[in-house]
Chain A
Amino acid sequence: MLLEIRNLTKRFGGLTAVSDLSFTLAEGDILGIFGPNGSGKTTLLNLISGVYQPTSGRLVWAGEDLIGRRPHEIAAGGIVKTFQNPQLFGELTVFENVAVAGHLRLKRRAGWRRVATLLPARHGSDDDLHERIERVLALCRLGSVRDQPAKSLSYGGEKMLGVAMALMCEPRVLLLDEPGSGLGQDEIRNLDEVLRDLRTHGTTLVVIDHRVGFLGRLADRAIVIHHGAKIAEGPPGDVLRERSVVDAYLGPGHA
């Protein structure tokens, strides 16, 4: 088991954002997370990626306990997330943004030897890094804007850049927080292609999305969260027809 989440609970003062939630993730899984606005989906991803510390419960990653780890340690371990509202280095170009995200790759390949590349005599070859950046930019359809400052991108472009930066970290699990929200038709089509590419590459994905139809086709499995608690789990098609799920989304009495 790659990732095991056991009885995870997060309280903010009197508000229970995530309540006694458990699920597991295996290598190559594509898990969809559904739930109405404010149901605790983003909080869940923030707990997994170390942005928040849980009030109680356990997170076990490849046999190791993740509780108390800082976000950068969790990212280094292979769990990387994108943000619902794109987070970028606005002043830097698209290329430079992805290059910053190449830090973990450098760290994994070179380890402490990366310090030696700072010496004047050593002109550390960045070719390998550049090649990888170009590949990620091409995959995310950002090649044409590579030299533009990130802050000049459209909203959809910003979101794709977020995905590109996360991919540059070479994640074993990629957590995508509503990658499709706020995107135009063309951008959505673009995103869907990228996600399908990732699926063919066997990347393990956890995706939050409201677009039931799309995520239903992409995901192998879905969980539905309501008021921070898991109310259903199973193949997406079946789960979304469940009585409790329909009630949670549309209010009781609609089915």
Chain B
Amino acid sequence: MKLLLLWVPLVLVPLVIHNNVVLTILIFTYLLGILAVSFNLIFGFTGQLSLFHAAAFGLSAYATYLAMAHWGVPFWLGMVVGVVFVSLVSLVIGTICFRFNLRELYFAIVTLAFSELFRLVILNWNSFTNGSLGINFTLTPTLWIPGRGVVPVQGTMMWYYLSLVAVVLAVGFYSRIVHSWMGRCFASIRLNDDLADTLGINVFRYKLIAFVAANAGAAVAGSLYSFYISYIDPHYFSIDQSLAIIAMALLGGSRYVAAPIVGALVLTALPHVINVNAEARLLIYGLILILTILVMPRGIVGVLVTGLRRPSRAPQTPERPRHAA
């Protein structure tokens, strides 16, 4: 509950700062924050490096827009279509990966292959997705506001509060899961899944739940993000996007539910602070990633909480099961 107070200053920010650049950076931070926080459920808490997260984000963006354009549904229903579609796709991919017990790099590679598969479909299905040109949105989300009726979501202020509410709800949702018996099951899978199995934990079921729940968050982020920038293209699915998500989670701190938002802030603000071209930006992401892993494996929030002290074992190294003879 006390942690809830940390959000209060963010509610007040637009009242104090009228600079649109700052507010825009924060909107991106919140929307990408949802993406990074949801990723961390499967990565930081369950220990599975999914490279499908960017694809879940992109698929939902396309599904939301196409549902609105073809079926004429309002934005929020379109988002539900996106989340349901992504959840069903995740259920299939997760079932395949976890039934075959793909671990660590094998899981990462297969999820990457699935996201490439979807990227190629989106890229080549010109009549439906407009291929590599992407889609410029002509539709805007609407919102019912007491006293003002149904209004289109536009302008920095409205997007600021909408994205802030969304990220707070996302953090609430994931922290509820992480700090429950289900979160304990996820931790047991991350730390020693053979042991979890012999203690009666259905490893397959809980990996699948974590994968679907994480991708559902990416779907929400994808719908909101694409409508904020009013544009989608197949680049949403790219490996750079997946790497940026990993960087956000690691940089913020993969042991804390809300910490990836801090990572999202740093990576969103950075291009504005140091003016570099896109290629150099990737280089800087890479350097940040390497430095984070070497110097502060617990991330920025981890450093703030426990100091620079290096843990005796890097958090991302899964416990090697020591097999009984």
* Chain A residues close to B by CB (< 8 Å): 42, 46, 49, 51, 70-72, 75-76, 80-81, 83-85, 87-92, 96, 99-104, 106-107, 114, 117-118, 120, 124, 151, 165-166, 169, 177
For residues 187 through 203 of chain B, which have their beta carbon under 8 Å from a beta carbon of chain A?
187-188, 191-192, 194-203
Q: Is residue B19 contacting chain A, with contact meaning CB distance below 8 A?
A: no
**Are A83 and B324 in contact, CB atoms less than 8 angstroms apart?**
yes
**Which residues in A have their C-beta under 8 angstroms from that of B195?**
83, 87-89
Between A70, A102, A103, A120, the greatest number of chain B beta carbons within 10 A of the residue's beta carbon is seen for: A103
**Which residues in A have their C-beta under 8 angstroms from that of B155?**
none
Scoring B residues 172 to 184 as 1 if CB is less than 8 Å from chain A, else 0, what string do you get?
Answer: 1000110011101
**Are A103 and B200 in contact, CB atoms less than 8 angstroms apart?**
yes
**Are B324 and A72 in contact, CB atoms less than 8 angstroms apart?**
no
* Chain B residues close to A by CB (< 8 Å): 172, 176-177, 180-182, 184-185, 187-188, 191-192, 194-203, 312-313, 315, 319, 321-325
Q: Which 9 residue pairs are nearest across A and B when measured between Cβ atoms? A: A75-B200, A104-B200, A89-B191, A87-B195, A84-B324, A71-B197, A100-B188, A76-B200, A83-B324
**Are B324 and A46 in contact, CB atoms less than 8 angstroms apart?**
yes
**Which residues in B have their C-beta under 8 angstroms from that of A96?**
184, 187
**Which residues in A have their C-beta under 8 angstroms from that of B325?**
42, 84-85
Between A46, A91, A177, the greatest number of chain B beta carbons within 10 A of the residue's beta carbon is seen for: A91
Pull 5 A–B residue pairs with CB atoms less than 8 Å apart, ordered by A.
Answer: A80-B199, A83-B195, A85-B324, A96-B184, A103-B200
**Which residues in B have their C-beta under 8 angstroms from that of A42?**
324-325
Shortest C-beta distance, A64 to chain B (Å), equals 16
Taking CB as reference atom, which chain A residue is nearest B322?
A: A85
Q: Once bound together, how far apart are the Cα atoms of A20 and B301, in whole Å?
A: 57
User: Other CB < 8 Å A-B pairs besides A85-B325, A120-B172, 18 of them?
Assistant: A72-B196, A75-B200, A76-B200, A80-B199, A87-B322, A87-B324, A89-B187, A89-B195, A91-B313, A91-B315, A100-B196, A100-B201, A103-B181, A103-B184, A103-B200, A118-B176, A124-B181, A169-B200
**Are A72 and B319 in contact, CB atoms less than 8 angstroms apart?**
no
Q: Once bound together, how far apart are the Cα atoms of A42 and B188, in whole Å?
A: 23
**Are A91 and B181 in contact, CB atoms less than 8 angstroms apart?**
no
**Which residues in B have their C-beta under 8 angstroms from that of A169?**
199-200
Q: Once bound together, how far apart are the Cα atoms of A80 and B199, in whole Å?
A: 7
**Which residues in B have their C-beta under 8 angstroms from that of A75?**
197-200
**Are B201 and A72 in contact, CB atoms less than 8 angstroms apart?**
yes
**Which residues in A have their C-beta under 8 angstroms from that of B321?**
87
Taking CB as reference atom, which chain B residue is nearest A162?
A: B195
With beta carbons under 8 angstroms apart, the residue of A72, A99, A107 that contacts B197 is: A72
Q: Once bound together, how far apart are the Cα atoms of A48 and B180, in whole Å?
A: 31
Q: Once bound together, how far apart are the Cα atoms of A104 and B184, in whole Å?
A: 12
**Which residues in B have their C-beta under 8 angstroms from that of A92?**
187, 191
With beta carbons under 8 angstroms apart, the residue of B180, B188, B203, B323 that contacts A89 is: B188
**Are A165 and B199 in contact, CB atoms less than 8 angstroms apart?**
yes
**Which residues in B have their C-beta under 8 angstroms from that of A177?**
324
Taking CB as reference atom, which chain B residue is nearest A84?
A: B324
Q: Once bound together, how far apart are the Cα atoms of A87 and B199, in whole Å?
A: 11
**Which residues in A have their C-beta under 8 angstroms from that of B181?**
102-103, 106, 114, 117, 124
**Which residues in A have their C-beta under 8 angstroms from that of B188?**
89, 100, 103
Between B184, B188, B198, the greatest number of chain A beta carbons within 10 A of the residue's beta carbon is seen for: B198
**Are B191 and A91 in contact, CB atoms less than 8 angstroms apart?**
yes
Q: Once bound together, how far apart are the Cα atoms of A84 and B172, in whole Å?
A: 41
Taking CB as reference atom, which chain A residue is nearest B323?
A: A85
Q: Once bound together, how far apart are the Cα atoms of A103 and B184, in whole Å?
A: 9
**Which residues in B have their C-beta under 8 angstroms from that of A90?**
191, 313, 319
With beta carbons under 8 angstroms apart, the residue of B185, B192, B313 that contacts A88 is: B192
**Which residues in B have their C-beta under 8 angstroms from that of A151?**
312-313
Between B196, B200, B319, the greatest number of chain A beta carbons within 10 A of the residue's beta carbon is seen for: B200
Shortest C-beta distance, A235 to chain B (Å), equals 28
Q: Once bound together, how far apart are the Cα atoms of A81 and B196, in whole Å?
A: 12
**Which residues in A have their C-beta under 8 angstroms from that of B194?**
51, 87
**Are A72 and B203 in contact, CB atoms less than 8 angstroms apart?**
yes
Shortest C-beta distance, B297 to chain A (Å), equals 13
Q: Given that A42-B325, A83-B324, A117-B180 are known contacts, is A71 also in contact with B198, CB under 8 Å in the complex?
A: yes
With beta carbons under 8 angstroms apart, the residue of B172, B199, B322, B323 that contacts A103 is: B199
**Which residues in B have their C-beta under 8 angstroms from that of A87?**
192, 194-195, 198, 321-322, 324
Shortest C-beta distance, B58 to chain A (Å), equals 28
**Are B187 and A72 in contact, CB atoms less than 8 angstroms apart?**
no
**Are A118 and B182 in contact, CB atoms less than 8 angstroms apart?**
yes
**Are B199 and A104 in contact, CB atoms less than 8 angstroms apart?**
yes
Shortest C-beta distance, A186 to chain B (Å), equals 24
Q: Given that A92-B187, A177-B324 are known contacts, is A101 also in contact with B199, CB under 8 Å in the complex?
A: yes
Q: Once bound together, how far apart are the Cα atoms of A15 and B184, in whole Å?
A: 39
Q: Once bound together, how far apart are the Cα atoms of A52 and B203, in whole Å?
A: 17
Taking CB as reference atom, which chain A residue is nearest B194?
A: A87
Taking CB as reference atom, which chain A residue is nearest B191?
A: A89
Q: Once bound together, how far apart are the Cα atoms of A90 and B313, in whole Å?
A: 10
**Are A81 and B182 in contact, CB atoms less than 8 angstroms apart?**
no
